[in-house]
Chains A and B, each alone.
Chain A
Amino acid sequence: MAKVYIYPGTSLILSDLVARFGHQPLGSALAVRERVQTPGLDSPPLQITPEDPKKGLRYAAVEVPSGVRGRMSLFGPQIEEAEAGIIISDADLSFGCMGCARTNELVQFLLHRRDIPLLELDYPCNDEEGVRFVAAIKEFLSSLPGGVST
């Protein structure tokens, strides 16, 4: 089983595909879930406190907006932890989205800097592309250590 970072991080479809092929998806849902299940409600809805943007300084300098650093305090550790990654470019909002374009650039940059297997695909625009899209993801996930071939 490999830990696979998914981009966009909120994509339930990607998350489901990764899990179906025997791996652990890393993305927004997991990062936020760990917070909202933590006892105490400091800062709803996402439970991010002013301390988190400071933790994000590990990934982005102090002159970078606090929203980027707050996001990086969630995604940065996941990128470090990831053993593989899937990046979908120009995804439709309904497929999954990340709110901040600057964070998105940084997330993709940090994924590229990691020496891990990466699958990069454009979001499909028609049925034919959709079939090839899923097949490519299946092939990639199956090739990872511990991947399940279905």
Chain B
Amino acid sequence: MTVPVRIALLGCGAEYSGVMPEIYEAARQVEAEVFYPDVTLADIRSAGKGFGLDVHSADLKLIIARAEALVTGRAEADAVFIATCFRCAEAAIVRNELRRYIHEASCLPVVSYSFTERTTSGTLLTRMEALVTIARRRALLARERQEGLTMGLDSGSATTKAIIMKDNEVIGTGWRPTTQVQQSADEVIALALEESGVRRSEIEAVGVTGYGRFLLGNAIGADLIQEELTVNSKGAVYLADRQHGFATVIDIGGMDNKAITVQDGIPGVFTMGGICAGASGRFLEMTAKRLGIDITELGPLAMKGTAKNVPMNSYCIVFGTQSLVNALAAGNTPADVAAAACHSVAEQVYEQQLQEVDIREPVIMVGGTSLISGLVHAMGELLQTEIVVPRYSQYIGAVGSALLASGFIRKE
């Protein structure tokens, strides 16, 4: 029987929001157990002084004391989950500072989340799974070269991707919009096999990631079924050739976004959010449709425009689009509108997600939206850095899966 990964819960308000069963269930699904680190009353009394943040809420003092116990080794854990109420300013400050403190002062993987009473175990599952992967599979994540003949699949919410790799080289790719999970996967596998010129039976190991990973992975008997936070991090630093030291990975996806601070290829701090459709690739798709162009043309068009010429009244996908329509009606150029849409998405991710991780250079953008040059440019301007977009960045999950899957090749 596998020893469960022990995840320390530093929570404020979770018990009173009715979400504890959801937290426990998400942990159970990834063979982890959630526990509260033991502290004494004296620890809580001195917590504010030691940490340097004097908060009013007693539960926040308590989680500061628990964090100090973890960092100093008075309490032991494999990973840390910080959960506080959504919309609580005091808790947000503590949540962010504790995450930074634990990351810097210990080697514990940490993720934070602000919940409402509507938070479900499904929402928490990928985050918990990533914590467990980092805690349990460090050796696997240390892999820096792909070996043998492996296939990676990324069953994403918007698109399905396949990659075939041989001896550390990509030899086949497949890409399709996701319709039926299995059918889309079959199509991209066929495309990748055709391009690579190998037979399915020759593939030595398969890795699967993305939303459809469990369905697909079980159906095809994958060797590795892995959430996209660790897989994408690994794929990003591998493709960008930044496997050592720090990096930040940004993946603006079709349904949610990921921002990950990576150290030596292993995620340290990460956030994953479906903040809003207005901060996703969907908004850019809608903008392209409204402008009557293909999504591949949006980026170059945006590079010719000036975002500040278009007043955006909202980040919302509905009202934001309305602002774009109003701008067109007022005589703004399609280039300005395209630039404004890219800036809007980048700014929202910057304001609402990137504040939750430590931005460490190089910043690597991956996923399909990384091919939209206007979005990459807008993000680079906001972060005041040159963004790295590696080759095959749109296949990031599939590349990461193929890379990690080679650890499962059975040697004769």
Residues of A within 8 A of B (CB): 42-46, 48-54, 63-71, 74, 93-94, 97-102
Contacts and interface: CB of A to CB of B under 8 A. Distances in A.
B45 interface: yes
Interface residues of B, number: 30
Interface in B49-101: 55-59, 62, 84-88, 90-91
Nearest to A65: B85
Contact of A70 (B13, B86, B88): B13
A45 B115 contact: no
Contacts, number: 97
Contact of A98 (B44, B58, B85, B88): B58
A103 to B, nearest CB: 8
15 contacts: A45-B15, A45-B20, A48-B17, A50-B118, A51-B18, A65-B86, A65-B91, A66-B17, A66-B85, A67-B12, A67-B14, A68-B85, A74-B16, A101-B90, A102-B57
Contacts of B115: 66
- By secondary structure, the A interface counts as loop
Nearest to B44: A93
A74 B15 CA distance: 12
Contacts of A50: 17-19, 117-118
A100 B13 contact: yes
A68 B89 CA distance: 13
Most buried by B among A48, A67, A68: A67
Contacts of B44: 93
A100 B57 contact: yes
A63 B86 CA distance: 9
A44 B39 CA distance: 21
B41 A46 contact: no
Contacts of B16: 46, 48, 52-53, 66-68, 70-71, 74, 100
B87 A63 contact: yes
Contacts of B58: 93, 97-101
